[in-house]
Amino acid sequence: MQKLAIIGASYLQEPLIQKAKSMGLQTHVFAWVANDVGEKSADYFYPISIIEKDAILAKCREIGIDGICTIASDLAVITVNYVADKLGLVGNSLNSAYMSTNKHAMRECFYANNDPAPKSYPVCSINDLRDKDLSYPVIIKPVDRSGSRGITKLEAGQGLANAIEFAKEQSFANQALVEEFVDGVEYSVECISWQGKHTFLALTRKYTTGAPHFIEKGHLQPASVNVDVLEQIKEITFHALDSLQINNGASHTELKITPNGQIKLIEIGARMGGDFIGSNLVAMSTGIDFVKAVIQVALGQEPDLKAKISGGGRLFTSFLRKKMWRNYIGLKLNIMNI
């Protein structure tokens, strides 16, 4: 029986755990103890924090794992690729893991490779902006978090110092980014990569609470854009994935299309999108088993991307009540076919 290490035990990882078990794999799950669902559903659970890379590496070497993966967690991506690198398993490089989890490094990579992205500045205090060419409105965000944590939009300089501190409080590195605000409609691009070849799976329209914090509240998949725009989105996304050296596994690219038709990259995660975008919506709208594909890549197998699940149509997910989603089990989503 092959052994799969999974980093994280929250409700977001549960579809990964259940899929692996349905594939006949032995699941070894790592996370700190928080009474999360994965602690009980895994074949083996180890109370080791997902940031304790060397402790997880030692245990995985002892177990003799055949693959390692995660979904919907930027922080876990670092450990996944660290362990994969040390054990000679399929993953992405350590440099790729850094660039895809640190927004400043990501921006620098985009600029160096001519990927369309907004201007941004890393800051630890408002003093770091004294000699910068800053045009409002701006977005202030943590340099290394996801899920809309610590984000503030400002139309002018008033409140900038507080917004920087708010972002830093949410940052593991205690650092923020101040970047130009991109006006437009927000989308995400769900892809899977295998040995450097990228496959587009779905385009998702994102709905948020708007300024100042832009908390995501719903997703529509597949998003409706014309064929030419979709092809441009794919081209820009694939080029950016190459820039970030994301060669294997899932990716979640967030971008905006401005009122004049420009496409601007916001950020890319080397993992599935959260809020069940990757783990459920993709399969429901396309018939492709995205979770299974992630596992196959982690095990060194070319992913099967034939549509086998009954899917199709347009799906909208709403998650206004956080508790409802944290109690999610199976396919109990708030979904409407439209």
pLDDT of residue 94: 98
Q: Give per-residue pLDDT as tens, 126-174.
A: 999 998 888 999 999 999 987 678 899 999 999 999 999 999 999 989 9
Q: Is the pLDDT of residue 222 over 50?
A: yes
Cβ density class 179-213: b for 16+ within 10 Å, e for less = bbbbebebbbbbbbbbeeebeebbbbbbeeeeeee
Tell me how crowded residue 108 is: count the other CB atoms within 10 A of its CB: 15
pLDDT of residue 315: 57
Rounded average pLDDT over 202-207: 92
- Taking the CA atoms of residue 288, residue 186, residue 239 and residue 179 in that order, the dihedral angle to the nearest 10 degrees is -140
Q: Is the pLDDT of residue 337 over 60?
A: no
- Better-scored residue on pLDDT, 328 or 299: 299
Please state, in angstroms and as integers, the Cα–Cα distance from residue 16 to each residue in 99, 100, 109, 206, following that order.
Answer: 24, 21, 30, 23
Query: Class for domain 3-89, per CATH?
Result: alpha beta
pLDDT of residue 326: 38
Confidence of residue 333 (pLDDT cuts 50, 70, 90): very low
CATH 3.30.1490.20 range(s) for the chain read 119-180
Q: Give per-residue pLDDT as tens, 55-85.
A: 999 999 999 999 999 998 899 999 999 999 9
| This prediction's pTM | 0.89
Q: What is the CATH number of domain 185-337?
A: 3.30.470.20
Mean confidence (pLDDT) of the chain: 90
User: What are the residues whose beta carbons fall under 8 Å from the beta carbon of 110, sequence distance 6 or more?
Assistant: 116, 117, 240, 243, 265
**Percent of the chain predicted with pLDDT > 90:** 78
* DSSP reduced 3-state for 150: coil
Confidence of residue 313 (pLDDT cuts 50, 70, 90): low
- Rounded to whole angstroms, the Cα distance separating 156 from 298 reads 46
CATH 3.30.470.20 range(s) for the chain read 185-337
- Better-scored residue on pLDDT, 151 or 335: 151
pLDDT of residue 329: 30
pLDDT of residue 190: 97
* DSSP reduced 3-state for 330: coil
- Rounded to whole angstroms, the Cα distance separating 232 from 229 reads 5
CATH 3.40.50.20 range(s) for the chain read 3-89
Domain 119-180 listed as CATH 3.40.605.10: no
* DSSP reduced 3-state for 265: strand
